[in-house]
Amino acid sequence: GESVGLHLPTLSVQEGDNSIINCAYSNSASDYFIWYKQESGKGPQFIIDIRSNMDKRQGQRVTVLLNKTVKHLSLQIAATQPGDSAVYFCAVVTGGGNKLTFGTGTQLKVEL
């Protein structure tokens, strides 16, 4: 099976600072990883993904880092804005399967 956990349930940052949200997974056969953002009362929205043959992928203001040696995944948000306030989930697919296993989420709070 697979278990996924985030390191901090809540993260507070100042507007303009960089944010780093961490995630750990248990199964070394995991091969696809996704970060989702969920605003209050809404469904999760895709942010960025990465496959196990990569260790870094960048998007607009976001970067995902994958360390397969220690089974760790992180999401970095540059120049954090108030609109980034949300719960962030990592999700993991193992062995080309059909199911995503989600972590418990980190609440990102942006202070003005």
Partner 1 sequence: DGGITQSPKYLFRKEGQNVTLSCEQNLNHDAMYWYRQDPGQGLRLIYYSQIVNDFQKGDIAEGYSVSREKKESFPLTVTSAQKNPTAFYLCARSILRYGTGELFFGEGSRLTVL
Binding site for partner 1 (CB under 8 A): 4, 9, 32, 34, 36, 41-46, 49, 89, 91, 93, 96-100, 102-105
The answer to whether 43 touches 37, Cβ cutoff 8 Å, is no
Q: How many CB atoms lie within 10 A of CB 83?
A: 9
The residue (of 42 and 112) whose beta carbon lies closer to partner 1 is 42
The residue (of 4 and 110) whose beta carbon lies closer to partner 1 is 4
The residue (of 13 and 102) whose beta carbon lies closer to partner 1 is 102
Burial annotation 16-39 (CB, 10 A radius, 16+ → b, else e) = eeebebbbbbebeebbbbbbbbee
The two structure tokens encoding residue 67 = 């360390």
Minimal CA–CA distance to 38: which of 70, 6, 1, 73? 6
Shortest reach from residue 27's CB to partner 1, in Å: 15
Shortest reach from residue 35's CB to partner 1, in Å: 11
The residue (of 48 and 78) whose beta carbon lies closer to partner 1 is 48
Shortest reach from residue 60's CB to partner 1, in Å: 16
